Amino acid sequence: MLSLLSCLMAPELRRIDNLAFRYFLPASLEEPLSQNSRLRLDRCHVEHLHWKPDDLKRLIRQRMIAFSEDKRAPYESLGQLCDPSDGFAARIDDELVELAEGNPRAAVFLADRMLRYHCRKEDPPRLIQADTWEEVKEKWWRVDRERIVGAANGEQPFRVWGDQILFQGRKITLSGRSYALLRCLVEARGHICSMEELKRAGWPEDKPEGVTEGALNEAIRRLRQKLDEKGIDPRWVENVRGQGYRIARSLEKSGR
């Protein structure tokens, strides 16, 4: 990408009278660009754009209008193309924007991918079905997200999506107390969950003081065992002596 930009942002282009260039680039390129002596980013006017959910919805709306065949009554949302059953059509735009994480490229990619998945079906129905969107989301977490958005430094492999917990993009099927404890740990984003917090999550019907530390430790042991059975290293659930548990930042120094 830097090699391509070296041509597009060459200093000699900036000396053309009455001509200006504007580049929209991902924030991850700012540091390597600033270190490139040929590009001289310090001689450019740099602004940081932050895309809000409404901005992404507006982007989708504009593209829907632009590609609609009927310009007098164009489509203005993806929901107009989707099956209204179970509220799917009503929530699709919001779900897509949330999944895009403020990234316009991701929003356009997801919308395009959903349309492509629908059209590639043999004898596709008139309206896009919810299972098509589920297929798009699964592929997004498994492959596409890192390719389109990029993996953040230090990003943990666990993620909560709706009522699901994902590990490296794949669903983890847990139930009951194990699910509640793991969700509590994942939502803490690497911070320590105290014994009391975990007791409240795992035993919501009881008072924390009524749950013994031994019962909590046993529940954590069972959670680790279930993760191990699913091919996930149980060391990700890390004990911080005297404080509680957390999702480990890495497996290099963590123990069972």
What DSSP assignment string belongs to 76-88?
A: -SGGGGB--GGGH
Sequence spans of domains, the chain: 2-43, 53-148, 158-247
Q: What pLDDT does 94 receive?
A: 92
Q: What pLDDT does 152 receive?
A: 52
Q: Give 172's strand partners.
A: 165
Q: What pLDDT does 215 receive?
A: 94
182 contacts 234 by C-beta, under 8 angstroms: no
Q: What pLDDT does 155 receive?
A: 59
Q: What pLDDT does 255 receive?
A: 45
Its pTM stands at: 0.57
- Does residue 103 come out as left (phi exceeding 0), alpha (psi in the -120 to 50 range) or beta? beta
Strands (E) in the chain, as ranges, are 158-161, 164-167, 170-172, 193-194, 237-240, 244-247
- Comparing CA positions, the residue from 41, 22, 28, 19 lying closest to residue 1 is 28
Cα distance between residue 211 and residue 220, in whole Å: 13
CA-to-CA separations, 157 to 34, 125, 186, 243, in angstroms, rounded: 30, 36, 10, 23
Low-confidence ranges of the chain (pLDDT < 50): 153, 253-256
Q: What pLDDT does 229 receive?
A: 93
Cα distance between residue 174 and residue 163, in whole Å: 11
Do β-strands 170-172 and 193-194 pair in parallel, antiparallel, or remain unpaired?
unpaired
Token pair of 135 as six digits: 């297929």
Q: What pLDDT does 245 receive?
A: 94
Cα distance between residue 218 and residue 178, in whole Å: 11
Per residue in 104-147, pLDDT (tens digit) is 989 999 999 999 999 998 889 999 999 999 999 888 877 888 78
Cα distance between residue 184 and residue 202, in whole Å: 9
Q: What pLDDT does 151 receive?
A: 56
Instruction: Please tell me the total number of residues recorded for the chain in this structure.
Output: 256
Cα distance between residue 256 and residue 241, in whole Å: 12
Cα distance between residue 58 and residue 77, in whole Å: 9
195 contacts 244 by C-beta, under 8 angstroms: yes
Q: Give 239's strand partners.
A: 245
Domain 158-247: CATH architecture, name and number where available:
Orthogonal Bundle (1.10)
